[in-house]
Amino acid sequence: MRPTFFKKARVTLALGVTLAACRPQPPPPPAADPAFAADHARWHAARIEALTQPQGWLALAGLYWLRDGDYRLGADPGADIVFPDGAPAEVGVLALAAGRVRLRLAPGVDARLRGEAITDVSLRSDIDPSQPADRVVLGDRFTFLIIARGERLGLRLYDLQAPERREFAGIATFALDPAWQVHARFEALASPRTLEHPTVLGTVQPVQVPGVAVFTIAGQEHRLTPILEHGPDGDSLLFVFSDRTSGRETYHGGRFLLAELPVDGSVLLDFNRAHNPPCAFTAYATCPVPLAENRLPFAVPAGEKSP
């Protein structure tokens, strides 16, 4: 005779399945207004275009930190800084001395700066946001520039044929949800203060903080501290935050959210536009990481998921 244990197990299993089927499911997000959905679609398309452009984050192929001295550049395995296959075996020599960078090209190398052929030139880094870094173009595939991060200088290399760029298949996102458009009160400082913001490198980067955004979720008040961003289209607020989805559905290092400057003491936080930092796509980026006060104690199921 079959033990009654198995009968009880079948009954328990069947009851569990029945209860699961009858358990109320959370309602889907409300349908977005067509104009809101169209505006978000335009934003998302611009986001993808920026990632995949010839010198977007997906095209990064190397980041090499420099100390004073000379560096032989090229695809030759014996070079001091080895470029990917497809670059000239010998590109030239990069010299760093007292914070100044000089590039001397090897004979016959097709290198241009702002469209002009170069052979021996001093290179400006990106230390001054108002003056873009000098970008050296090698042939029709590679570009490199000098970046400044705190006291460090590094060579950042782009490759039009980088695997991450060629194989990019888009970014998964949460369903568009108008409820995650949150209006926050902005408590502005009399003047922006300088903050040493932590980065993924384990270093700190001085940034300007103009105030704090205060908002309410499920009856609880929360605060986010932004970085004042100076971009080509004007100033904006960059919120670097994490939440209960971080390391699960979303990137473990947190996400970025850009917002326009406050108007009449209010700022709109559209979490549908929360997006992955560059470090989610490449090991050659130098991203800020969330401040302790920007680690939200709830889930934000809106915006981009992990790539």
**Residues 232 and 123 grouped into a single domain:** no
Instruction: Using the 3D structure, point to which of 140, 166, 192 is the last residue of a domain.
Output: 166
Q: What is the mean pLDDT of residues 280-291?
A: 95
- 212 and 271 housed in the same domain: yes
The length of the chain, given as a count of residues: 307
Whether the pLDDT of residue 235 is over 70: the answer is yes
Residue 38: inside a domain? no
**What are the structure tokens assigned to 264, written together?**
């009449």
Give a yes or no: residue 4 inside a domain.
Answer: no
Residue 39 falls within a domain, yes or no? Answer: no
| Rounded (10°) CA dihedral 148, 149, 151, 153 | -40
- Which among 114, 116, 166 has a CA at the least distance from the CA of 145? 114
Q: Is 46 part of a structural domain of the chain? A: no
As a whole number of angstroms, the distance between CA 235 and CA 252 comes to 27
Range(s) of the domain holding residue 228: 171-294
Same domain? For 122 and 232 the reply is no
The answer to whether residues 201 and 290 touch, using CB atoms and an 8 Å cutoff, is no
pLDDT per position as a tens digit, 247-264? 999 999 999 999 999 999
The CATH number covering residue 162 comes to: 2.60.200.20
Instruction: Answer whether residue 99 is part of any domain.
Output: yes
Tokens 């981009």 found at: 304
Q: Give a yes or no: residue 45 inside a domain.
A: no
Model confidence band, residue 28 (pLDDT cutoffs 50, 70, 90): low
For residues 9 and 137, what is the distance between their CA atoms, to the nearest angstrom?
A: 70
Verify that 138 and 88 share a domain, yes or no: yes
Which residues fall within 8 angstroms of residue 183, CB to CB, at 6 or more apart?
215, 266, 267, 268, 269
The structure tokens listed for 195 are 């903050």
Boundary-marking domain end, from 137, 166, 195: 166
To the nearest whole number, what is the mean pLDDT of the chain?
90
Contact 78, 95 (CB under 8 A): no
Closest residue by Cα to residue 168 from 292, 242, 57:
57
Look at residue 193 in the predicted model and tell me its pLDDT.
94
- The values of phi and psi at residue 160, to 5°, are -55, -25
Query: Mean pLDDT across the stretch 37-56?
Result: 96
pLDDT score at 32: 62
Residue 221 lies in a domain: yes
Looking at the fold, whether 212 and 251 belong to one and the same domain comes out as yes
Q: Is the model's pLDDT at 8 over the cut of 60?
A: no
Q: Catalogue the long-range contacts made by 78-82 (C-beta closer than 8 Å, 24 or more residues apart).
A: 81/155
- From 142, 166, 190, the end of a domain falls on 166
Please report which confidence band the pLDDT of residue 33 belongs to, taking 50, 70 and 90 as the band edges.
confident
6 or 119, higher pLDDT: 119
Model-level pTM?
Answer: 0.83
| Number of folded domains that form the chain | 2
DSSP states along 132-190: PPP-EEETTTEEEEEEEETTEEEEEEEETT-HHHHT-----BPPP-GGGEEEEEEEEEE
